[in-house]
Chains A and B, each alone.
Chain A
C-alpha cells in the first residue's frame, strides 16, 4: 500500500475507518507495515498537522501511532512505549463506544501486539526496569480484555468476546516472560468457561494450549500438560519448525515422565539432542548418567523449567534398573541386597538397605512394581505375572 504524503495517509486511514474495514485499518496503524518507512509521515510536528484534519477518535490514534514511529526511529524506546500505550488506551475507548459491532478487533490485535513488542524492546534497553515495563503493558492489555469480556449484549457474530483469546495469549506471553505465572489462572478460567472456546481460530488455540500446557507442567499436573501440549504439537503448522521445537522442549520431558521415550530420529529432526543422553540414561537406569546430563545441561533445563522433572525421571530410572535386576536374577523373590548393589553400581553410592526398601515401597505404591517387601527376609516378592507393568499403561 502506497501512502504518499501525510495528508493522503490521513485521508486514506479516515476512509478505511468510515467504511469499517478493520483489517486494512489495522495494517495502516501497525508498526510492522511498510508505511512505517515512509519519510513523509515523520514530520517534525505531527500533532498540529493531524489535529482538526480528521474525525474525532481517529486523530488521537494517528498522532500516537506516528509519534511512536518517530520515537522508534530515534531509538527512544521508552518514548515509543508511552505513545503506543496511549494508543491502546484510545483503542479501548473506541471499543467501549462501539455497540453491536466488532469490526475493530483486528485493530486491537495489532495495536496490542505492537505494544508488547515495544515494551520488550524498552525492557531490553533498561536493565533497571526488572519487568516493570512489561507489567505496565499487561495492565493496558487487561483494559482491552475487560472491554471484550464484558460485551454480553451483542449477538454471537458481533460480540467483542471473540477477541478474548488473542488478548489472553498476549498476556500469557507477558506473564511467562516476567515470571508471574500466578496471574495466568483467572485468564485461563475466563477462556475455559467461555462458550466460544472452540470457535476461536486454530492458530490462537494452539498458542493458548501451549502456554496452558506449560502452566500445568509448572503446577505438576502432567496429565493435562500432556493433553494440552500434544494438541498444540499435533495441530501446529507442519512448516513452523521453530514452534514445534518449542512445544517439544516441554512435551518430551512430560511424555518421558508418563513412560513414553522419544526416538532418536525425532530428537535429531528438531535439534533437541540434549535429551538423547537423558533418554538413554533413564532407559538403562543409569543414575550417574542422569546426574551428568543434569550437570551438563543445567542452565538449559532450569531455563526451560524442566529441571525438577528431570529429577523426577530418576524414579523411572529406578524402575528400569530394578527390572533389569529382576530379569537377570530370573526369580520372583529378589534380595533387597541385589537392588542395593545395583543402585550403588549405578551411582547412588550412599544408599543402604533402608533407603533401598523405601525406594521399592514407593514403586509398589505407584503401581510400577507389583509385589510386596518382606522386612524379615529382606526380600522383594514380585508378582509372577506382569511384575513390572509398562509405564505407559499406568496413567
Chain B
C-alpha cells in the first residue's frame, strides 16, 4: 500500500484523531541510527562536508517484526521542514558527486520524510508544505536525468514517487478546500499557502504553489483524461490562472492530435512545467510522425526537415533525421513520409537532456520560484 492510500484511510477512519503519535526526535537523524551508521561505516558521502557531519534519517522498509511507531525515532513537523530545507537547499549545492548519485541520496532521504509524515498522520496543511518541494524535486531531476542509463536512474520509479506525492498533495488541497467551504470562512487559500517561507535569506526559501502543482499534474499525465476532469471541477479563480490555463490548452490540443499547437504553446511554459512537458515530447513526436506519415504519404513528395524541426520542437535538423530514421522514415534534408514505412514497433527514443543551456536556472531557484503573481509566466 502506498503512503497515499494509507493517508486516505486514516483521514477516512477518524477525521479528528487526537491519538496519533507525536515524534520527539529533534534531530534530522535519530540518535540510535546515528550511532549505528557511524559504527558500521554507513555514513553517506553527502552527509559529510569537511569536518562536519550532518546525518539524515534514511529510509527503511517497514517489516513485520520492526516497530516503526516509536516517538523517539520520528521527527515532528518542524524538524521535517528543517530537514527538507537542508536536503534541497544545501545538499543540492554539492558538486563533488554525480547528479545520479545526488538524486539517489535525496530520493532515499525524502522517502524517509514521507514515512515519518505517514506514521505521525500529519494534518493536510503541514503535508502540503513538505510535499510541494518534493514534487519539484522529482520533476526537475526526472528531466535532468532522463538521458541516463537505467542503471543510474529509473524513470518509472521516479514517476511513481512523483505521482504519489502529487496525489497526496492534491488530496490535501481538496480537504483544505472542503474545510474552508464548510466553515464558511472567506480566507483565501492561496494566502495561506504563500505565507509559508522557510529561510532567513531572501533568495533561499521554498514556496508552496498550488497553481504550479495543478499545472504539473496535467502536464505529467498528458495521455490521461482524468487530470482534465479534475481541472474542470476546480474553482473558477484557480482555473483562470494563466499557467494552469496554458497547461489545459496544451492538453486539449494534444487530445485533438494538434501537435503544431502543442509545441507552439509549450514555448510559454515556466521551467518546471517545461521539464514535465519535455519528458512527454518524444511520445508526442512519435505520435506526430505517425500521423504525418499518413497525411503526407507520397512516393515523390517530401517535407523539408527544417519544417518538421519547427513543428515538433526538435533541437536540430540532425535530431529530426535521426528520429525519423529510427522510426523507419527516409530523411536527407527532406523527410519522405510514407504510410507503410513508419515502424510503430520500435522503442521510443530517449529524451535528450541538455538542461543547462535550456533552463539556465540554479537549483534553488527551481525549488523556490512561484508563478502566481505574474500575469504571464516567463521562461
Contact residues of A with B, CB < 8 Å? 127-128, 130, 132, 135, 218-220, 302, 305, 307-308, 311-312, 314-315, 354-355, 357-362, 364-365, 372-376
Task: Report how far A307 CA is from B239 CA in the complex, Å.
Answer: 15
> Is B181 an interface position by the 8 A CB rule?
yes
In the complex, the answer to whether B304 meets A375 with C-beta atoms within 8 Å is yes
CA distance A312 to B296 in the complex (A): 23
Cross-chain contact B290 with A365 (CB below 8 angstroms): yes
A365 CA to B260 CA in the complex, in Å? 15
* A132-B12, A355-B261, A358-B261 given; 4 more Cβ-contact pairs under 8 Å: A358-B260, A359-B258, A362-B256, A365-B291
A375 touches B258 (CB 8 A): no
CA distance A219 to B228 in the complex (A): 12
Please report the C-alpha to C-alpha distance between residue A308 and residue B15 in the assembled complex, in whole angstroms: 34
Q: Verify B182–A127 contact, CB threshold 8 A.
A: yes
- For this complex, 10 residue pairs linking A to B, each with C-beta atoms less than 8 Å apart, are A219-B225, A314-B256, A354-B311, A358-B260, A359-B258, A362-B295, A364-B294, A374-B301, A375-B302, A375-B304
Contact A375 B255 (CB under 8 A): no
**Chain B residues near A135 (CB, 8 Å)?**
12
Q: Does B233 contact A (CB under 8 A)?
A: yes
Interface pair B232/A302, CB less than 8 Å apart:
yes
Q: Which residues of A contact B246 (CB under 8 A)?
A: none
Residue of chain B at shortest CB distance from A130 = B178
User: Contact residues of B with A, CB < 8 Å?
Assistant: 12, 15, 175, 178, 181-182, 225, 228-229, 232-233, 252, 255-261, 290-292, 294-298, 301-304, 307, 310-311
The answer to whether A132 touches B15 (Cβ under 8 A) is: yes
Complex contact B178–A365 (CB within 8 A): no
Nearest chain A CB to B74 CB, angstrom units: 27
The answer to whether A128 touches B301, judged by C-beta atoms less than 8 angstroms apart, is no
Residues of A within 8 A of B259 (CB): 358
Q: Is the CB of A355 within 8 A of B260?
A: yes
Measured CA separation A218–B228 after assembly (Å): 11
Contacting pair A375 B307 (CB below 8 A): yes
Query: With A302-B232, A375-B302, A375-B304 as given contacts, are A308 and B225 in contact (CB-CB < 8 Å)?
Result: yes
Chain A at the B interface: mostly helix, strand, loop or mixed? Answer: helix
Inside 8 A of A315's CB, which chain B residues have their CB? 256
Chain B nearest CB, measured from A48 CB (Å): 32
Chain B residues near A360: list those with CB within 8 A. Answer: 295
Given contacts A375-B301, A375-B304, A307 and B295 within 8 Å (CB-CB): no
Q: What's the nearest-Cβ distance from chain A to residue B77, in Å? A: 24
For A132, the chain B residues whose CB sits under 8 A away are 12, 15
Distance in angstroms between the alpha carbons of A360 and B258 in the assembled complex: 10
Across the interface, do A308 and B307 meet the contact criterion of CB distance under 8 Å? Answer: no
CB-defined contacts of B256 to chain A, threshold 8 Å: 311-312, 314-315, 362
With both chains docked as a complex, state the minimum distance between the C-beta of A336 and any C-beta of chain B, in angstroms. 12
Using Cβ atoms and an 8 Å threshold, which residues of chain A touch B292? 361
A220 proximity list for chain B (CB < 8 A):
225
> In the bound complex, how far is the Cα of B236 from the Cα of A320, in angstroms?
33
The reply to whether B304 and A311 contact each other, CB–CB distance below 8 Å, is no
Cβ-defined contact, A305 with B229, below 8 A? yes
Dominant SS at the B interface? helix
One of B225, B228, B258, B302 near A358 (C-beta < 8 A)? B258
Minimum distance in angstroms from A227 CB to a CB of chain B: 20
Instruction: Report the minimal beta-carbon distance from B289 to chain A, rounded to whole angstroms.
Output: 11
Closest 8 CB pairs of A and B: A361-B295, A358-B260, A365-B294, A362-B257, A365-B291, A127-B182, A375-B303, A364-B295
Cα separation A218 to B230 with both chains bound (whole Å): 12
With the chains together, A305 CA to B228 CA distance in Å? 11
Q: List the B side residues contacting A219 at CB < 8 Å.
A: 225
Taking the closest CB of chain B, its distance from the CB of A226, in whole angstroms, is 17
Least Cβ–Cβ distance between B252 and chain A, in angstroms: 6
For A377, give the chain B residue with the smallest CB separation. Answer: B301
With A311-B255, A364-B295 in contact, do A358 and B311 touch (Cβ < 8 Å)? yes
Which residue on chain B has the smallest CB distance to residue A127? B182
Contacts of A373 in B (CB 8 A): 295-296
Once bound together, how far apart are the Cα atoms of A312 and B291, in whole Å? Answer: 17
A358 to B264, CA, bound (A): 12
Q: Which residues of A contact B178 (CB under 8 A)?
A: 128, 130
The answer for the CA separation of A355 and B229 in the assembled complex, in Å, is: 26
Residues of B within 8 A of A305 (CB): 229
Cβ contacts under 8 Å, A357 to chain B? 260, 295
The chain A residue with its CB closest to the CB of B296 is A373
CA distance A130 to B302 in the complex (A): 58
Residue of B nearest to A360 (CB): B295
Contacts of A365 in B (CB 8 A): 257, 290-291, 294-295
Set of chain B residues within 8 Å of A355, measured between Cβ atoms: 258, 260-261
Q: How far is the CA of A387 from the CA of B296 in the complex (A)?
A: 16
Residues of B within 8 Å of A128, CB to CB, are: 178, 182
How far is it, in angstroms, between the C-alpha of A135 and the C-alpha of B258 when the chains are bound? 40
Given A130-B178, A355-B258, A365-B290, does the pair A374, B298 have CB atoms closer than 8 Å? Answer: yes
CA distance in complex: A302, B297 (Å) = 39
Whether B297 and A372, one on each chain, are in contact in the complex, defined by CB atoms closer than 8 angstroms, is yes
A79 and B233 alpha carbons, distance in the complex (Å): 32
A149 vs chain B, min Cβ distance (A): 23
Q: Which residues of A contact B257 (CB under 8 A)?
A: 358, 362, 365
Contacts of B297 in A (CB 8 A): 372
What is the chain A residue whose CB lies nearest that of B228? A308
Residue from the list A130, A308, A312, A372 in contact with B295, Cβ < 8 A:
A372
- Distance from A194 Cβ to chain B, minimum over Cβ atoms (Å): 28
CB closest residue in chain A, given B298: A372
**Measured CA separation A218–B233 after assembly (Å):** 15
For B287, the closest partner residue in chain A by CB is: A365
Nearest chain A CB to B115 CB, angstrom units: 25
CA distance A163 to B242 in the complex (A): 51
A375-B229 contact in complex given A314-B256, A365-B290, C-beta closer than 8 Å: no
Complex alpha-carbon distance, A135 and B225, angstroms? 24
Q: Are the CB atoms of A361 and B296 closer together than 8 Å?
A: yes
In the complex, chain A residues whose CB is within 8 Å of the CB of B232: 302, 307-308
CA separation between A281 and B257, bound complex, in Å? 21
A361 close to B291 (CB less than 8 A)? yes
Q: Which residues of B contact A302 (CB under 8 A)?
A: 232-233
B322 CB → nearest A CB, Å: 21
Assembly CA distance A120 to B27 (angstroms): 47
Known A132-B15, A375-B304; contact A362-B229, beta-carbon cutoff 8 A? no
Closest-by-CB residue of B relative to A139 is B12
B294 and A361 contact, CB distance less than 8 A:
yes
CA–CA, A354 to B292, complex, Å? 12
CA distance A218 to B295 in the complex (A): 29
Asked if residues B225 and A375 are in contact (CB atoms below 8 Å), the reply is no
Residue in B258, B259, B260, B261 whose Cβ sees the most chain A Cβ within 10 Å: B260
Specify which chain B residues have a CB less than 8 angstroms from the CB of A376 in the assembled complex: 301-302
Asked if A311 contacts B252 (CB within 8 A), the reply is yes
What's the nearest-Cβ distance from chain B to residue A346, in Å? 16
Cα distance, A315 to B252, chains bound together (Å): 12
